[in-house]
Structure 1
Amino acid sequence: MTDARPQGFDTLAIHAGAKPDPATGARNVPIYQTTAYVFRDADHAARLFNLQEVGYIYSRLTNPTVMALAERVAALEGGAGAICCSSGHAAQIMALFPLMAPGRNVVASTRLYGGTIQQFSNTIRKFGWSAKFVDFDDLEALKAAIDGDTRAVFCETIANPGGYITDLDAVSAVCDAAGLPLIVDNTTATPWLCKPIEHGATLVVHSATKYLTGNGTVTGGVVVDSGKFDWSASDKFPSLSQPEPAYHGLNFHAALGAMAFTFHSIAVGLRDLGMTMNPQGAHYTLMGIETLGLRMARHVENAKKVAEWLEADPRVDYVTWPGLKSSPYHDRVARIVPKGAGALFTFAVKGGYEACVRLVDSLALFSHVANLGDTRSLIIHPASTTHRQLDEAAQIRAGAAPNVVRLSIGIEDAADIIADLDQALAKATA
């Protein structure tokens, strides 16, 4: 594309990172199913390894299909660069990897996906890292949790499972004052609903498995770098601001500026951790993103109808969709997600845990799966599945109490979605 003016979201969703294949003229991005790439000569190889020239060395690092996806997501998020990896969980580790060291910590929201709470509570300790969990509505508590060993702040735009919307503007102001990067998981919002970089985020992570792909076929993760953080402003981030012993003493920020994080994540992170996205997975996700704007509009439209119907139903205690006027986070919708409050939320069933189990087992149109963001409507009971590793108090803090089920509203006819919930609720609360 040669038009210099900024392009719209749907145009970028189709064209960013993609151009006709120079060898064949293929219009879709080919699946480059190859492990390695032939160098033109010895000097070309040396320039690639010295990061003096952008190109392809080995598919654990970069691959043309995967790179097209990285460029597309970076364009949609308004970032300087991006790295694709094998899953959303891999993306979270990749985001933290250049920033952390043994003894360092990340301050994280209490309202996170249960798997992320588990990863941050236990798994990252094996690296010598730790996490502090804070209610991000309490900005003073957030400030107090940040100490001399904190290296990042982490939250979700629309929290999974409860649909809580983070006040990204307020949180990013705290991060700026502390000289720390804000990492935002934008999986459930997608860049169609929110671009966290515009609200002060340094890094944006995605589970591409969800709405970006949209069809439940492949797993994947993406880290988008805003390119706006000054890694050399303090001595907190030596992997980026000082000679990096893991890459023959290169000072990534001095040499690469706004692309320092992106290149470090490829040259060191993907090289040594190996959390690589496969090219076929990238291909499926590229195709999914082409319809992201169309799908998200329908997801949000359906979610509104379903949430309003559920809120009026006497068999339901409460609904957490933040687009409802009753939601305590309703005022954040216009600021953070102006196109709508997403399609992921929970509701509490009268009858508690057992009624939730009967509800899940009685549905026909909904799929009972540990996923979200498909074209299909999905349901899960977090307390017995995704959040079962947490005690009840932690489940409640995460919005996954025993009497709660999580819905991911699909793009079917809304009347059919409601009819399925209606008949299942009748059985669950009989």
Structure 2
Amino acid sequence: MTTIKAIRGMNDILPEHTPYWQRLESTVSGLLASYGYGEIRLPIVEHTELFKRSIGEVTDIVEKEMYSFDDRNGESLTLRPEGTAGCVRAAIQQGLLSVPQRMWYAGPMFRYERPQKGRQRQFHQIGVEAFGTATPDIDAELILLTARLWRLLGIDQHVTLELNSIGSSQARADYRAALVTWLSERREQLDEDSQRRLESNPLRILDSKNPDTQALLDNAPNLADFLDEESVADFARVCDLLDACGVSYTINRRLVRGLDYYNKTVFEWVTSELGAQGTVCAGGRYDGLVEQLGGKATPGIGFAMGVERLVLLIEAVGAQAPAPERADVYVVAVGDNAHRTALAAIEALRTALPELRVIQHVGGGSFKSQLKKADKSGAAVALIVGEDEAAAGVAGLKPLRGQGEQTQVALGDLAENVSNIVMQDITAT
């Protein structure tokens, strides 16, 4: 019988790595709460039409990368390839946009891509969205929030911020027309992928990774020359606010982002530590998306960060790793009555000291073998109950890290004595 394996590009996250994820997730949720962002939890599956209308039918995501299928009613559904569209759909459907909203979400996204380090078919994002504020101070807030997060995670020296403004939809349309005309005259100099995009999504050519195409673009029309006055003024204000807060950035006039719904400010946080998959966080404004999806015209801005890439970066640069979880107490019990007595005693102990991490040995074994496992667990103390101890209503407490001797205590006094030993261990380490 063949062994069933995980689907290619959809990876298991093992216990040795989950502490990094937990640290990242807890740091993000705490930071976002401090900025006034509330969590929203969204479905993994949405109607395919949602993504066609939001992301754009001629984008690579919709054309080639989405996991779409017909359900039993014949409706076309899609595993979400990104989170903003679903968040906007929920905000409209649930009537959340009558007042400005700050929200965030987290979870798996799905795109059919060639799996490689930092790019999987099931990947995880944390997304942040703000609705109802048209002024550039909210743009600056989101960027400042991410800058603070990098400091908290210890990776701020390994990421850089790139900014651009892609203007209004009209400014972008005028630029697109000029760019297509210019590139069409030089079509044979473009790489194959850029030639295809020339017909469908020409602005994505600006983001080409082909060095020859990038060299050709040096003389192409400049998006900045087509920006409307409002976009220019708003972008200048974003830069001014970042300057005032000491956040360094580079203006990258070829930064356009890959989704059709963006306008005005766009940004990316990038690193050189992860090879080709260097973008760890990206986003921008999407002032027309709510109306495009059937809601009242409402400005919006957001970003998403890739959890896998951030974890890889934290590991790559040697940022402080989470302390490995270890037990405080390991319970050794030999004999049926001893095990029964110990089980009741440690449940009472957990009630008295809910922060305590207690491992009950299971599966039997000799006193010696159980004690070896207690030592390997990293616990500060072994709680030992044999048949004699159970009959007498006591337990042995054996310090495993210090020099103290094993003592006997009444089961009713476990909490105070265990707490003292654990605190001594914490102080010593």
Q: TM > 0.5 between the two?
A: no
TM-score range (shorter-chain normalised) is: under 0.3
The alignment's TM-score, normalised by the length of structure 1, stands at 0.26
Structure number with larger C-alpha Rg: 2
| Greater relative contact order structure (CA < 8 Å, 6+ sep) | 1
TM-score (norm 2): 0.26
